[in-house]
Amino acid sequence: MADISDFQESESEVRVYCRSYPTVFTTGKEHTLSDEDGNEYIDFLSGAGALNYGHNNELLQKILQDYISANGVTMSLDLFTSAKRDFISKFNSTILAPRSMHYKMQFVGPTGTNSVEAALKLARKVTGRFNVVAFTNGFHGVTLGALAATANKKHREATIGALGNVTRFPFDGYFGHNMDSLIYAEGLLSGKGSGIEPPAAILLETIQGEGGINVASGDWLRGLQRLCREVGALLIVDDIQMGCGRTGTFFSFEEHGLDPDVICLSKSISGYGLPMALTLLKPKLDIWRPGEHNGTFRGNNLAFVTASAALDYWRSSEFSDSIVKKGRIIRDSLERTAEKIPLQWVKEIRGKGMVFGFELNAPELAETVVKTAFKSGLIIETCGADDNVLKVMPPLTISEAGLMKGLDILHSSIVKACSIH
Ligand SMILES: Cc1ncc(COP(=O)(O)O)c(C=O)c1O
């Protein structure tokens, strides 16, 4: 049994993920984590989306080791470095140009919430408006600006006041599949009597990750984009969790033909789990004055190095195809599991690419599944406002054998948990 007393005594009560997996991890390789007692775990948590390319990805590790051994610059504020130039050039040639996308890159502080803060501040500066539309169950980070746009009560309650200037609209399907929440949005934003201030931006995830793997339809997303253009608001897509290949394409919105004004990226953009965040903005929006939105750690060159190397996965369609294929394996397995347990426990299975939510009817049941899976060697988290959705999010690079093994553990854990409840 791992000794976790140092953490319990000295680490703040704010810690969270470690509460579900009470052991001390030592090494990570591809889709596997090991602990001090020599146990191995298949990782379906993937650093909450920051490890799309797995732990210590061999291709990236070698390049990182070489860079460090050659005394490559590590920290550089926003000075020009060869590592940053390589990233910029490769991101342009591998990701943006093939998709006919034209954006400037704003390197922000190293976490997702920094990217959202930059996007919101810029939208307000460009439009001269203060209001922003965000959605039910949306999650955008926990610094004040991003938290104002985040819906989850648990996160919002930590802040007394100061969460203003956001109007909340229902996400696609929030009131069930029979109510079109786009009509609601259109009615409120175009009507003169709605009392809603014209928004600087509409901020959304195309699939809500923390909010419960809620998948917006292409029609709904395109409708919102149209609405943005009509009311003079910017469309900001927060692709922090669903970008970098999670849904099968590099950006989560590619299939829907969206043309966002601003795109937020972080989590897996560095490829190696190193801190890095990026805000992409349409060139005409780049009205920042030098240093206006600043931050010390905007030049993590180790992250630039691995981020550039990770882009090699996107040189052909092979990687995308493998995500779609493994996504089918996940869906089939979850559907088989759903057939094996009493109907009253399963609410819905939803997802895309290699991210799926298995919604159970009770949070206690989901918690039992997480605990049972952990004991059997699988790390998986829950999401959704009620923490009742099992989030299946393995590294995109996981082998099919590893994936099936993880899904088997998940299957037996769900079946076992249902039999106890
Ligand atoms: C969609 C989305 N936006 C923003 C964030 C915030 O990122 P970070 O925790 O790195 O600040 C997250 C984190 O889970 C996220 O999923």
User: Domain of 268: which CATH number?
Assistant: 3.40.640.10
Percent residues over pLDDT 90 in the chain: 94
Residue 384 has pLDDT above 90, yes or no: yes
Residue 36 lies in a domain: yes
Q: Is the CB of 266 under 6 A from ligand 1?
A: yes
Strands 389-392 and 346-352, how do they pair? unpaired
Query: Which pLDDT value is given to residue 46?
Result: 98
The verdict on the CB of residue 239 being under 6 Å from ligand 1 is: no
- Ligand 1 centroid distance, CA of 184 (Å): 27
Beta strand extents in 282-354 (DSSP E only): 346-352
| Dist. CA 108–CA 222, nearest whole Å | 28
- pLDDT tens-digit series, residues 386-411: 999 999 999 999 999 999 999 999 99
Q: Please give the number of the atom of ligand 1 that sits closest to the Cα of 266.
A: 10
Closest residue by Cα to residue 87 from 258, 280, 263, 219: 280
Residues 6+ apart with CB under 8 A from 145: 116, 117, 120, 121
Looking at residue 177, its pLDDT comes to: 85
CA atoms lying within 13 Å on the CB side of residue 26: 8
Distance from the alpha carbon of residue 139 to the mean position of ligand 1, in angstroms: 7
Mutate to test the pocket of ligand 1, among 155, 241, 300 (most ligand atoms within 8 A of CB): 241
How many domains, in total, are found in the chain?
2
Domain boundary among 314, 336, 358: 314
Let me know if residue 63 belongs to a domain.
Answer: no
Same domain, 336 and 411: yes
- Cβ(140) – ligand 1 distance below 6 Å: yes
Same domain, 46 and 173: no
The mean-pLDDT minimum among 70-74, 150-154, 265-269, 321-325 falls in: 150-154
Same domain for 280 and 172? yes
Segment 110-119 mean pLDDT: 98
SS3 192: coil
Same domain, 161 and 142: yes
- 158 CA from centroid of ligand 1 (Å): 17
Least confident of 156-165, 283-292, 371-380, 389-398: 156-165
- Check whether residue 269 and residue 362 sit in a common domain: no
Q: What is the pLDDT of residues 7-59, one digit of tens each?
A: 999 999 999 999 999 999 999 999 999 999 999 999 999 999 999 999 999 99
Q: Is 172 in the pocket of ligand 1 (CB under 6 A)?
A: no
Q: Which of ligand 1's atoms lies nearest the C-alpha of 277?
A: 10
**CATH label of the domain that carries residue 336:** 3.90.1150.10
Q: Based on the domain organization, do 116 and 263 belong to the same domain? A: yes
Q: Span 128-143, mean pLDDT?
A: 98
Where is the domain boundary, 263, 282, 314?
314
Per-residue pLDDT at 192 exceeds 90:
no
Q: Read off the pLDDT band of 235 (50, 70, 90).
A: very high
**Position 343 pLDDT exceeds 90:** no
Domain that holds residue 193: 72-314
Q: How far apart are CA 349 and CA 336, in angstroms?
A: 11
pLDDT at residue 130 tops 90: yes
Alpha carbon of 114 to ligand 1 centroid (Å): 9
pLDDT of 1: 78
How confident is the model over 197-209, as pLDDT tens digits?
999 999 999 999 9
Query: Of 263, 290, 314, which residue constitutes the final position of a domain?
Result: 314
Distance of CA 408 to the CA centre of its chain: 25
Q: Are 317 and 284 in contact (CB under 8 A)?
A: no
Ligand 1 geometric centre to CA of 170 (Å) = 20
Q: Could you tell me the two tokens for 267? A: 């989590």
The pLDDT value recorded for residue 421 is 79
* Mean pLDDT estimate for the chain: 97
- 210-214, 280-284, 360-364: which range is least confident on average? 360-364
